[in-house]
Amino acid sequence: MDVVKEILTKIKMYQTIIIHRHQRPDPDAIGSQAGLAEILRESFPEKNIYQVGGPVEGLEFLAQMNEVSDETYKNALVIVTDTANSPRISDERYDLGAELIKIDHHPNDDPYGDLVWVNTKASSCSEIIADFYHLNQDELVLNSNAARLLYAGIIGDTGRFLYPSTTPHTLEVAAELMSFDFNPAELNRELEQIPMNVAKLAGYVYQNIEVDEQGAAKVILPQSLLDEYGIVDSDTAAIVSLPGVIDEVLAWGIFVEQPQGYYRVRLRSKGPVINELAKKHHGGGHPLASGANAKDQKEIKAIYEAIQKLCKEYKK
Ligand code: AMP
């Protein structure tokens, strides 16, 4: 039996299904998680379906999380979406269930779970969930809210169909989702709009970005600056892609100081593969979009030098 059928069989077997996603969720984490939850609620109204995890950090308009007791995990099927590594799963009770399924589109470095469905060619985990519905259309029902959530995940992870992970299939899936009853333009606005303090931070990013002659760029955002602008870590999602519009920038790192003193590193690239570099610094991710951590300025320097090297090799 292929893994898709096996997953559906497991879903049908369990009365309680709890769906997790990664910490610091982005629209694809919430979209794939809550989108799957909506499909299962609509398809199996007699089952108990929960979506769980920590704060959704500015994405409340997409979905709210459910509160679940430890007891609920007994005899439950747990599904984790969009999460490559088990330490990044939000709500560490994910392994309290009877069985665990991983559904993801990141490289499968940590194949946790009794069943694993990973498709690194998918633009987003939401695209995989839409495929899951499609492949089982005779047994599953997709409602408008599920369509809205999955659409949000796809536009989130593709930068509105801009990034190279966008395929003809992505557009076919998005077109089908768009035919459901929700307002895609309003959803785009909700996802794209930023408060004034984040707009001012965008100004800071453009004023202070450093780019070398090979196109390697960096921006450091110290905690004192974030405090001055009234910015919290999750707000920085809106500025991560900004250096990409500068013609001479090829790959970049945004180093966001955390209240604990270490730096969250957000790496992006238009060509050089940066996820191996991320893995060397307690991180991981996609070939062109990864995250890592730097403990101090010395590690920031080492990461930036590595980006410079990757850009140089890429341009050879
Ligand atoms: P971010 O810059 O946090 O938006 O992350 C970009 C990509 O890298 C996402 O696909 C994340 O799942 C992945 N990523 C970010 N941080 C980590 C980490 N610490 N470990 C593994 N993957 C990460």
Average pLDDT taken over every residue of the chain:
97
pLDDT tens digits, 13-62: 999 999 999 999 999 999 999 999 999 999 999 999 999 999 998 899 99
CA-CA distance, 25 to 187, in Å (whole number)?
Answer: 17
**Cα–ligand 1 centroid distance for 83 (angstroms):** 9
Helices (H), the chain: 3-13, 27-43, 125-135, 144-158, 168-178, 184-192, 196-208, 223-229, 275-279, 297-315
Give nearest CA residue, ligand 1 atom 22: 284
pLDDT tens digits, 103-134: 999 999 999 999 999 999 999 999 999 999 99
The CB of 243 under 6 Å from ligand 1? The reply is no
Task: Indicate whether 275 pLDDT > 80.
Answer: yes
Residue of 81, 88, 280 best suited for mutating to test ligand 1, as the one with most atoms within 8 Å of CB: 88
The CB of 291 under 6 Å from ligand 1? The reply is yes
pLDDT tens digits, 227-258: 999 999 889 999 999 999 999 999 999 999 99
- pLDDT value at position 234? 87
Residues of the chain with CATH 3.90.1640.10: 3-191
Task: Indicate whether 290 pLDDT > 80.
Answer: yes
Task: Indicate whether 95 pLDDT > 90.
Answer: yes
Q: Which atom of ligand 1 lies nearest, measured to the CA of 24? A: 3
The CB of 27 under 6 Å from ligand 1? The reply is no
**Cα–ligand 1 centroid distance for 68 (angstroms):** 26
Q: In what helix (H) or strand (E) does residue 8 lie, and over which residues does it extend?
A: helix 3-13
Task: Indicate whether 189 pLDDT > 90.
Answer: yes
Assign 310 to helix, strand or coil: helix
pLDDT tens digits, 150-185: 999 999 999 999 999 999 999 999 999 999 999 999
CA-CA distance, 17 to 311, in Å (whole number)?
Answer: 45
- pLDDT value at position 57? 84
> Any residues with CB less than 8 A from the CB of 95 and at least 6 apart, and which?
78, 86
Give nearest CA residue, ligand 1 atom 1: 291
Query: 196-315 sits in which CATH class?
Result: alpha beta
- For the structural domain made of 3-191, what CATH number should be given? 3.90.1640.10
Task: Indicate whether 269 pLDDT > 80.
Answer: yes
- pLDDT value at position 228? 96
pTM, full prediction: 0.93
pLDDT confidence bin for 268, thresholds 50/70/90: very high
The CB of 79 under 6 Å from ligand 1? The reply is no
Task: Indicate whether 1 pLDDT > 80.
Answer: no
